[in-house]
Amino acid sequence: MPGMLEKPPAPPHDFSWWLPSHHKSAGSARRLLRTFLATRSGGERFCETGELVLGELVANSVLHAQTPPGRLVFIQFSLRPDSLRIEVHDADPRLPAVHPAPEDAECGRGLWLVSQLSASWGCRPRPGGIGKVMWALLEGGDAQ
């Protein structure tokens, strides 16, 4: 039957992309989110906070995930009328935790920032695959 093996189209308010596990991927992810939100009605209100949260989640994945060379990071955005859900998938099954960073530390505050800027956030094993999914839910948008 024609079309039986075709993948159904993604909902119009969802977007996903694969990125290399590289330090420049956080910037690429932020640009993709900015472009995605600019093309959606009302999406711009999530831009500032969304870019910060996404950048932290991707950086956390790239810097801390212990994965074999060549593994990719998967990002997904889901925009709804009053919320933006951000997901970052990587191949490391270890679940991260928020730890207090020493005052003079130059890193270690990413998940704390995510927890403060998101309505909710978390991490879970990837369904049907290896690794984990870090996610954050932003509600209301930047201009409240």
Query: What is the maximum span of the chain, computed from C-alpha positions, in angstroms?
Result: 64
Residue 46: burial class (beta carbons within 10 Å; 0-12, 13-18, 19+): buried
| pLDDT 10s digits, 38-69 | 999 999 999 999 999 999 999 999 988 888 88
Distance CA 111, CA 135 (A): 11
Contacts of 33 (CB under 8 A, 6+ apart): 47, 50, 51, 54, 77, 86
Residue 119 inside a domain? The answer is yes
Query: Is residue 81 in some structural domain?
Result: yes
Q: What is the mean pLDDT of residues 115-139?
A: 93
* Residue 123 clears pLDDT 80, i.e. is over it: yes
- Domains held by the chain: number: 1
Q: Percent of the chain having pLDDT more than 90? A: 61
pLDDT digits (tens, 9 = 90+) for 57-109: 999 999 888 888 888 999 999 999 999 999 999 999 988 877 776 677 667 67
Q: Cite the DSSP H helix spans in 13-109.
A: 25-38, 47-64
84 in any annotated domain: yes
**123 lies in a domain?**
yes
Domain range enclosing 54: 14-96+109-139
- CATH number assigned to the domain comprising residue 86: 3.30.565.10
Q: Quick check: is 3 in a domain?
A: no
Other CB atoms within 10 Å distance of the CB of residue 69: 5
On whether residue 127 sits in a domain, the answer given is yes
d(CA 63, CA 8): 34
Residue 87 lies in a domain: yes
